[in-house]
Structure 1
Amino acid sequence: MDALSANEAKTQFGDLLLKAQRAPVQINKNGKPVVVVMSMDEYENIEALKLRYLQSRAAQAKVDIEAGNLTNGDVFFDALEKGQFD
């Protein structure tokens, strides 16, 4: 992934937009990564993946409930937030 400083991103904004249409670009401030700029298509694909994942988790939860396989809601959401998958 290409990386630019915040100042470079500001002074080379047009170039940043062109690069981001091809691949995500990391922007660093004070040497630390703070943001990634990406194309709208890539962003929409990521959002669609997140939605499909949540839909599949909800569908599995419904199956588990119907089968009487219950879990503590706090445990479920803690695992979800931490990215721990079954």
Structure 2
Amino acid sequence: METLSANDAKTKFGDMLMKVQRTPIQINKNGKPVAVVISMDEYQSTEALKLRLLQSRAAKAVEDINKDDLTDGEQFFNELESGQHD
């Protein structure tokens, strides 16, 4: 991934827009990463993937409810906090 300083991103904005069509670009400010610029196609693909994941999890929840395969609320939140549902 290419990296630009915030100042370079500002002064070379048009060039950055062209490059970002091929690969994401990390923007650093004071030497620290603060943003990543991606193409609209990449953004839409990412959003579609997130939606499919959410739909899959919702479908699984409906299946569990229909099978009466329910989890105790406290147990679920303990599992959630421990990262089991990530």
Q: Distance in 1 between matches of 2:62 and 2:85?
A: 19
Stretches of structure 1 lacking an aligned partner (at least 5 in a row): none
Higher helix share: 1
- Give 2:24's aligned residue: 24
Q: Number of aligned pairs?
A: 83
AA of the residue aligned to 1:50:
K
Shift of 1:75: 2.2
Distance 1:4 1:84, change over 3 A: farther
After superposition, give the CA deviation of every residue in 1:54-78 in whole Å (9 maximum; x if it has no partner).
00000000001111111338629x4
Shift of 1:83: 8.2
- Give 2:37's aligned residue: 37
Shift of 1:84: 4.0
Q: Distance in 2 between matches of 1:83 and 1:7?
A: 41
Distance 1:83 1:34, change over 3 A: farther
AA of the residue aligned to 1:18:
M
Question: Aligned pair 1:13/2:22, yes or no?
Answer: no
Q: Runs of at least 4 residues of structure 1 off by over 2 A?
A: 71-76, 82-85
SS of residue in 2 equivalent to 1:28: strand
SS of residue in 1 equivalent to 2:77: helix
Shift of 1:5: 0.5
Q: Distance in 2 between matches of 1:70 and 1:16?
A: 50
Q: Distance in 1 between matches of 2:20 and 2:63?
A: 41
- Structure with max Cα Rg: 2
- Give 1:47's aligned residue: 47
What is the Cα-based RMSD across aligned positions, in Å? 2.3
Match of 1:75 among 71, 74, 77: 77
